[in-house]
Structure 1
Amino acid sequence: MALAALTAVALTGLTGLTPAAANAPGSPGTPAAPVAVFTEDFENGQGAQPTLLTDYTGAGPVHQTYTADPAWLRNCNGYLTSLDAPTTEPAGAGCGSGAWSIVKNLASALGTWSGAADPAANHAVTAYTQADPGGGKVQLQTAEPIPLPAANRFLTFSVDVAATSCYTNAPLLSFYLLDGQTALPTSTAPINACANPGSVVGGVSVGTYASNGSVLFSGTSAGIRLINDQASGNGNDGAFDNVRLLDATPQLDLGFSPATRPVGAPATLTFTLTNTSELAAKNGWSFTTALPSGLRLTDDATTTTCGNGSLTAGAGNSVAVGGDLAAGQASCTVTAHVTSTDPGTYQLCAGAVTDRVGIDPPGCASVTFTAPVFDARSNAARVYSPLLPLGPIAPSAHSCTTAPGSDSHGLVSTGLGTLGSLGVISTDASGTVGPDGTRTAAAHASIAHLSLLGGLISADAVDTSAQARSVLTSSGPGPVSLQGTSTLTGLRVAGVAVGANPPPNTTVGLPLVGSVVLNEQTAIGGGKGITVNALHVTLLTGVQLTLGTATAALLSSTDTCPAV
């Protein structure tokens, strides 16, 4: 078992501590109260008559009984009493003149400190030493183990203590956790109410004290031992009440920052361990988490504010995390960088956190990685006419999705009415993701044996392509590079031969008819895409005809799609 180095301190914030609800995720960095898994208030079945500690039985369901060294059961020691007790000490108590009334006041002072409805009726285990008890002797010990709700938990103690005669030797109390016959210390410095009072009530120093350390306990039951290290009977006068065995296991929280990132870019995954409010040291906590499929560590750059904090990549997609919380430390963090080349939302929850030792499970956290949206489209022809629009003919599209894919279509021939005819047609559109994460949107259209306007425009074949490409970098997708081409084989306009690769947006007039733009290229989507028309015919009648259209764009998730 891991054992923290401790000192005992007065904790006024633990006054009147009662069993708390289990820790819950969602407030990283804000300590919650430890959970009291066992509390003894020494009130079960008690009235005005004092009871020797060894004759007392605690409340159910544990019904705990207690033992102590004989030195702490005689000479005015070891009685459960209250201010309401008779003025005469029990027979054989050994208090002597005036001591019994002081003993009763100790119990009342603790009742006032804890906020009891009637402090005079509050019972505590008292001591007014009338002889040297000897140092390091047991003042209280449980007779039977206390069942624990779970193993691998951090356990510590708190107790209400009163002390008087502080001008001389003070009681020095130290708690031990019992694992069978093995005593595990929970502090390296004893509780000294004289030196560290939470308050002074009627001349009595009082306070609630907890260790600033804990024991990482692997068992399912434990005992309590309280030792008084003060050997002298000169002074050494006090009382204790409300002994609490505390589950002080820290809370694990998960978080991603920022919550949305482009694919390939790093997001910070933060594991936050939040202490419980007594701020005892918690040494040796650990856990393993399996990252969601598709999410991976980007590098070995781990940062931590936890003592001995570590994060180690394991088999598969697992990550092992461990470390310490120092005494007085409210929380600590271990961070790593994660990324994904696949767009989507990745959620990490308690079910993925296994091999938990000394932590409470987290809630869920998620991160979303966004990728450029494919917009690839093509068609063979389209007629824009106020009276009789036509097409698009043989359209293909892989558009408005981040997933790779493709589409293609073809026709043997088609007519355009009075505008002309087209031979064999093929179109295709695709979105691909390379092994290195490069994303490419591409579209293509081809037409064989084109004849328009009674032969005014003709070609053996036209081929058009458009491409938008983004290379994945360590900070996300790079800039979109665009490419568009048109190849016009055997093109003749008004009987004049035209080269196969005219410059973009070459305009040729058609006297008394209109005009035609060759290799028309237009940027779309705010510069993230391109549309290429092999031919764009505009007639004086207002009719427009596009042939061999290819569009390719890589858009952001907030861009309009299809792009314009």
Structure 2
Amino acid sequence: MRTRTHVRVLAGTALAAGILASAAPAYAALPSPEADAYVVSSDALSGLVAVSPTPHSTYPSGGTQTLVGLNLGPFSTTSVLTATTAGNPADGTSTASATVDRIGLDLGLAQASLTGINTTCNATPAGATGSGTIAGGTVTIAGIPTTLQANAPANTKVSIPAIGTIILNEQTTDANGVLTVNAARFALLPVLNGANLTIGHSQCGGAQPAESVPMINPAVAGATGGVALAGVLGAVHLRRRNAQGTAPTA
């Protein structure tokens, strides 16, 4: 049978356990930081070959990959394409970026030109941030141009008749906190094979620092540790007093 003192002891212990548990910091779900970057990729389109991620950098091992000029699939450019990734397991961070000054696309029914493409992604154990921008761009159908917004807000959608949808500064985050940023993604209509064309791709995710062990957050412990300790000591004191009060007499 539980006495009132037993209940107080259990309550004090539960209070302390709850406070100490809530003080542990939350870390990203990935076991180690990761990053991925490339400048262009596309599915096969109207007889044009698919383009695998080009140039492509992945962390680990990371580093910078460059390509001078490209004429493949729907893409053409004389500019330098650059993709870079890096990471640091010690503090759980990673970065990714992709850039190219100018690139043209031939979509058959339409032509497109984009300038100043740049994406970045920066991740820590607490989360990731990034951006995907173009300095300017147009899509031309039958000689009629549609201007694309420069430095568009995240996930800006532009509908292009007979072509499909262009998503500017596309940003998505998965269940592990990995952020994916595309400066521009063309999602074409089924008549165009429903192809996806991506320009300027950066992806990154943080992780728990390799050298850290989850402990009590000092800021939380400073505010609540005294309360938890007082609860435990108070419960112990009540238990001892109860034991002394019920001890048999000689």
TM-score range, shorter chain: 0.5 to 0.7
Q: Does 1:511 align with 2:161?
A: yes
**Amino acid in the other structure paired with 2:186:** V
Q: Does 1:467 align with 2:122?
A: yes
Identity %: 27
Selected match of 1:453 from 103, 106, 109: 106
Partners of 1:463 and 1:504 in 2: CA distance: 14
Q: Residue 451 and residue 372 in structure 1: after superposition, are their counterparts in 2 closer, same or farther (change >3 A)? A: same
Higher relative contact order, chain-length normalized (CA < 8 Å, sep 6+)? 2
Deviations 1:263-298 (A, max 9, x none): xx9xxxxxxxxxxxxxxxxxxxxxxxxxxxxxxxxx
**Amino acid in the other structure paired with 2:129:** Q
Match of 2:96 in 1: 443
Partners of 1:520 and 1:371 in 2: CA distance: 22
Q: Does 1:490 align with 2:149?
A: no
Match of 1:204 in 2: none
**Contact residue 118 and residue 132 of structure 2 kept, 8 A:** yes
**Contact residue 122 and residue 129 of structure 2 kept, 8 A:** yes
- SS of the equivalent of 2:150 reads coil
Match of 2:80 in 1: 424
Partners of 1:464 and 1:497 in 2: CA distance: 20
Selected match of 2:44 from 385, 388, 391: 385
How many pairs align?
Answer: 170
Q: Does 1:521 align with 2:167?
A: no
- SS of the equivalent of 2:151 reads coil
Q: Which has the higher helix share?
A: 2
**Contact residue 186 and residue 197 of structure 2 kept, 8 A:** yes
Partners of 1:457 and 1:371 in 2: CA distance: 38
CA shift for structure 1 position 425: 0.2
**Amino acid in the other structure paired with 2:169:** N
Selected match of 1:394 from 45, 49, 55: 55
Selected match of 1:407 from 63, 67, 77: 63
Q: Who wins on radius of gyration, i.e. which is larger?
A: 1
**Contact residue 127 and residue 205 of structure 2 kept, 8 A:** no
**Amino acid in the other structure paired with 1:457:** A
Deviations 1:85-115 (A, max 9, x none): xxxxxxxxxxxxxxxxxxxxxxxxxxxxxxx
Match of 1:147 in 2: none
Q: Does 1:547 align with 2:212?
A: no
Partners of 1:384 and 1:459 in 2: CA distance: 19
Match of 1:338 in 2: none
Match of 1:225 in 2: none
**Amino acid in the other structure paired with 1:453:** D
Q: CA RMSD in A?
A: 2.7
CA shift for structure 1 position 394: 0.7
Deviations 1:186-233 (A, max 9, x none): xxxxxxxxxxxxxxxxxxxxxxxxxxxxxxxxxxxxxxxxxxxxxxxx
**Amino acid in the other structure paired with 1:490:** G
Unaligned runs of 5+ in 1: 1-264, 266-369, 400-404, 471-479, 557-564
Partners of 1:486 and 1:537 in 2: CA distance: 14
Partners of 1:430 and 1:416 in 2: CA distance: 27
Q: How does 1:68-467 map to 2 (within 5 A)?
A: 372-385=31-44, 388-399=49-60, 406-417=62-73, 419-422=74-77, 423-432=79-88, 438-453=91-106, 456-467=111-122
Partners of 2:91 and 2:51 in 1: CA distance: 36
**Contact residue 32 and residue 92 of structure 2 kept, 8 A:** no
Deviations 1:138-190 (A, max 9, x none): xxxxxxxxxxxxxxxxxxxxxxxxxxxxxxxxxxxxxxxxxxxxxxxxxxxxx
Match of 1:536 in 2: 185
Partners of 1:511 and 1:523 in 2: CA distance: 29
Match of 2:14 in 1: none
Q: Residue 511 and residue 371 in structure 1: after superposition, are their counterparts in 2 closer, same or farther (change >3 A)? A: closer
CA shift for structure 1 position 504: 1.1
**Amino acid in the other structure paired with 1:530:** L
Partners of 2:83 and 2:206 in 1: CA distance: 19
Partners of 1:376 and 1:537 in 2: CA distance: 23
CA shift for structure 1 position 523: 0.9
- SS of the equivalent of 1:412 reads strand
- SS of the equivalent of 1:528 reads coil
